[in-house]
Amino acid sequence: MPLNVRSIAVSIAVICFFVMSMIGWASGLMPFVCCKRALIGAVLAYIAGGWAAKAINSVLVSAMIADEMNEQGDADLTTTSNVALGDRDIGASD
């Protein structure tokens, strides 16, 4: 199931904004400087979080496709081998 990219990116950006604000405030910077740096950091975190979520989605979807192809391939192989070998119900009476 693919992840919701926008929701994850917004969550990462909000957390980054507040963390950077607290770090700037604890460092004794002026509030405007803290806000400006936190906003720039949040925008960059939003972009990075979006890219990371898209990359994870890509890996998850390709893994799901490969798994489904393997399951279908195993089912096709089993059906083909039973028909080719002439397997019958051994316990049946004629």
Q: What are the residue ranges spanned by the domains of the chain?
A: 5-83
pLDDT at 72: 82
pLDDT of residue 59: 92
Q: What is the pTM of this model?
A: 0.68
Per-position b or e across 23-52, b if 16+ CB within 10 A of its CB: ebeeeeeeeeebbebbeebbeebbeebbee
DSSP 88: -
Calpha distance 50→28 (Å, rounded): 31
In tens digits, the chain (94 residues) has pLDDT values of 677 888 999 999 999 999 999 999 999 999 999 999 999 999 999 999 999 999 999 999 998 888 888 888 776 666 665 555 555 555 555 4
Q: At what angle do helices 5-26 and 31-85 cross, to 10 degrees?
A: 150
